[in-house]
Amino acid sequence: MPKLDESLLAPLPPFSHLERSQIRTILDQASSERHDEGVSVFTEGDVADRFFLLLDGTIRVVKITPDGDQVTSLHIPSGQLFGIAQALGRTTYPATAVSASEVLTLSWPTSLWQTFVVDYPGFATETYKTVGARVSEMNTRIVEMSTQHVEQRVARALLRLVNQSGRNTPEGIEISFPITRQDVSEMTGTTLHTVSRLLSAWEKDGLVASRRKKIIICDPHSLVVLGGA
């Protein structure tokens, strides 16, 4: 395993209040792992024996229903903690974490969680903020699914992805990880067919541009309007 540099963690909120030496200790206790796209980092129901930090890439948090339908709860951008079952008072992971792109993770055994919370100022606060933000996001999803039409939900979902992990290109802002129509449909509770139709229509109007597994937002403002009304 390569020796990790302290500058990796120093700017990230959960660790930003810490001394160099503390960060060194934390890094020395971490395991680093690389995963290909589309791999499960952990699976719903598994005993939560480790917690994770996403160094690079994007994680998709999914749930699978008894009859095989897949639903995406949220996306986690790099720099955030995930698999933090401890912060929810759980001993098993509540959902499955799948790599949406090639990812780089750090992880620590659950047994260190208490140590982190007690010894490292700001760690607890920041993790609860993370939890709070995700609760907000889930709440938003529920409200949207209860009150909005598919077109609005898809528009908003794309905007959220682009805000969270967008990358500038000459054509517009592109979602920085591979994403299929099917993926979008699992985020919005619709079908890949409907997503395809919407994207085609939007592409015709110049709002988006898309290739296989790639979506670029050319006119965010118009999408906001679509999502807002």
> Nearer Cβ to DNA, position 79 or 189?
189
Binding mask 174-213 for its own copies (x = CB under 8 A): ------------x--x------------------------
- Nearest distance in Å: CB 154, DNA: 9
Pick from 149, 164, 166, 145: which is nearest to 208 by CA? 166
Among 86, 124, 192, 222, binds DNA (CB under 7 A): 192
| Single residue of 12, 71, 104, 209 touching its own copies by CB under 8 A | 71
In 3D space, the residue among 59, 65, 95, 93 whose CA is nearest the CA of residue 77 turns out to be 59
Here the tokens at position 213 are 């597994």
Biggest CA pair distance of the chain: 55
With 0-12 CB in 10 A as exposed, 13-18 as middle and 19+ as buried, what is 79? middle
Per DSSP, helices labelled H in 61-149 are: 113-119, 123-147
- If you ran DSSP here, which 8-state letter would residue 5 be given? P
Using CB under 8 A as the binding rule, whether residue 2 contacts its own copies is answered as: no
Q: How far is the CB of 195 from DNA (least distance, A)?
A: 7
Binding site for its own copies (CB under 8 A): 63, 65, 69, 71, 73, 85-90, 94-95, 125-132, 134-136, 138-139, 141-143, 145-147, 186, 189
